[in-house]
Structure 1
């Protein structure tokens, strides 16, 4: 085995585009996604912060396949948002999301990094988004955005 092959097995961010499997804690929901884990994000929006954002990555809808559990999924979307998150009805784990944001490339699916099988999240490099302030047009950056309390 070459050093490059060994690196990509140890660090999925070096593997390039490949197909991963994942799912919820209880096993009712299973999916497959073809992604490059060199492009993993963390967001500081109120949803991601409250959920304990462990990171996510997005792909075009055709690169995501729900393998099992359509009847076991429930969705949450903020009123008026085109974006949703899908949870297992049994164990409560958020496995994936979907949406359409034209400014960021249109229709997408996303997966929560913690739901991937056999991927060590500590080996990944994260890009940070400032969703808390709807600062999407600023793009991502390599360090977290400063937390600024919202004024009530």
Structure 2
């Protein structure tokens, strides 16, 4: 095994674009996603913050494939939003999302890093988005955005 192969097994962010499998905790939902784990992001929007802000990797819709479990999926969507989150109705695990954010490249699919098989999230580097303030035009950055409480 070469040092490059060993590095990419130890740190998936060095593997480049490859296909990963993942799913929920109980196994009812399984998917496949082709992505580069060098592009993992965290967002501070109210959903991501309450969800746990564990990180997501985003890809074009064609790079995502649901392998099984459509009938076991529930969907959460904030009223009026083009973006949704799909979760297993049995174990409650949020597995993936879909939507359209022009500032992030348009139509997308995203998967929760913690739902990928055999990927250690502690080995990844993250880019941070300021979704809490709809500050998508600012782009991502390498450190978290300052937390500012939302006014209800």
Question: Which digits, 9 at most, give the CA deviation of each residue in 1:54-113, with x for residues without a partner?
Answer: 100110000000000000001000000000000000000000000012232111100000
May I ask how many residue pairs the two structures share in their alignment?
A: 152
What residue is the counterpart of 1:11 in the other structure?
Answer: 11
Query: Helix, strand or coil: the match of 1:49?
Result: helix
Residue correspondence of structure 1 range 1-150 to structure 2 within 5 A: 1-150=1-150
TM-score (norm 2): 0.98
Query: Helix, strand or coil: the match of 1:137?
Result: helix
Q: Runs of 4+ in structure 1 displaced over 2 angstroms?
A: none
Deviation, structure 1 residue 53: 1.1
Deviation, structure 1 residue 2: 1.2
TM-score (norm 1): 0.98
Where do 5+ consecutive residues of structure 1 fail to align? none
CA RMSD of aligned residues (A): 0.7
C-alpha distance in 2, partners of 1:150/1:34? 35
Question: Which digits, 9 at most, give the CA deviation of each residue in 1:31-63, with x for residues without a partner?
Answer: 000000000000111100001011001100000
Name the stretch that deviates more: 68-77 or 96-105.
96-105
Query: Helix, strand or coil: the match of 1:91?
Result: coil
C-alpha distance in 1, partners of 2:82/2:151? 25
C-alpha distance in 2, partners of 1:131/1:50? 13
